[in-house]
Amino acid sequence: MNFTLYQSSNGGNGPRRGVVETARGKIETPVFMPVGTQAGVKSVEPRDLAEARVPVILGNTYHLFLRPGNEIMSAAGGLHKFMSWDKPILTDSGGFQVFSLSKIRKMRDDGVEFSSHINGAKFFMGPKESMGTQRVFGSDIAMCFDECIPYPAKYDYARKSVEKTLRWARVCAELERAPNQALFGIVQGGVYAELREQCAKGLVGTGFDGYAVGGVSVGEPETELIKGIDDSVPHLPEDKPRYLMGVGDRLQIVEAVARGVDMFDCVMPTRHARNGSAFTDCGSVPVKAARYKNDFAPVEEGCPCYCCRNFTRAYVRHLLNANEILGARLLTIHNITSYMRFMERMRGAIGAGCFGEFRRETRERLAKQNA
């Protein structure tokens, strides 16, 4: 993997444009990655993603390790062939499940003992198991196995977690990878600036292809999320991609890009679609609401997606309220397209030297909806 940074400001800690080159294609940054946890972005097909101009998706090591498992994945020829997706894939390491499944896991120095959320079966995952699984998957970008801690967390807990994350990262860096597979380290440290600095510098000292800001979107207020970025990014190299994990709110994405972040992922576009909400340039539209019963306009005027080209708010609302799967599918197509267009406009604004105006206009448009 190569990363070319061809436009940046503030020493790389301001808005920047670049391109991540993988064996399966180029990823222009800043970029948003739809989440395909179970080897599929919920309710849509690879051709829908291709039409929406999605350059990269995310898969999850923990979930795919349990189901379908490494044996089937290996027999299928890897994750790309298994799900018929020929563009880049980034796989999370399973470290987020250390946080999200805290009630059914037990921490060890060398990894985590989980009880399967599917059937309760016991299994172990550490850096060796996570990297071995990601090697079988053949993802283009693998993530180091880390400990994602909750909010709030006491200083001593966060300190020990950083030490563990750095120790595991060094193990991950030494293990065999799939051909052309890049590896990103993950900065942890909770709300403690000195711990995030320590973690970032430790990871850079080991050396990775890219770096992620982890331990955010775990229940903290937005001010702490932004602080986590500010406490991490300045300690990361300018010539490597930076990835803010699990963040999909548009205003938060803009603020992160303003601070030099390149990559994002979140379930928001797909989850909100299943709940009946559409993302637009002016905020979310609750299409499922009664006021759209007789609204025969597209979900968003001017949107080129399949949903907006062919169907109305009234029809999509009818499908959603009748529990027809097509309703969620159409809104998901729209929401993913909307996110891709948003990121494309942001890249264009950076390229034109008017990101500040883009940032201000985005805040003003979304603030009107919340007024």
**Rounded CA separation 288/50 (Å):** 27
Q: What's phi and psi for 143, nearest 5 deg?
A: -115, 145
**Rounded CA separation 85/68 (Å):** 17
Residue 265 designated active-site: yes
Closest C-alpha among 211, 206, 65 to residue 134: 65
Q: What's phi and psi for 242, nearest 5 deg?
A: -120, 135
* Structural Rg of the chain based on CA atoms: 20
Whether 148 contacts 92, CB under 8 Å: no
DSSP assignments along 337-366, one per residue? HHHHHHHHHHHHHHHTT-HHHHHHHHHHHH
Residue bearing tokens 């805040």: 363
Residue bearing tokens 């301001």: 14
Please pick, among 92, 146, 231, 262, the residue that the annotation labels catalytic. 92
Tokens describing residue 71: 């044996």
Please pick, among 110, 230, 265, 281, the residue that the annotation labels catalytic. 265
Residue 92 designated active-site: yes
Tokens describing residue 274: 């299943």
Catalytic residues: 92, 265
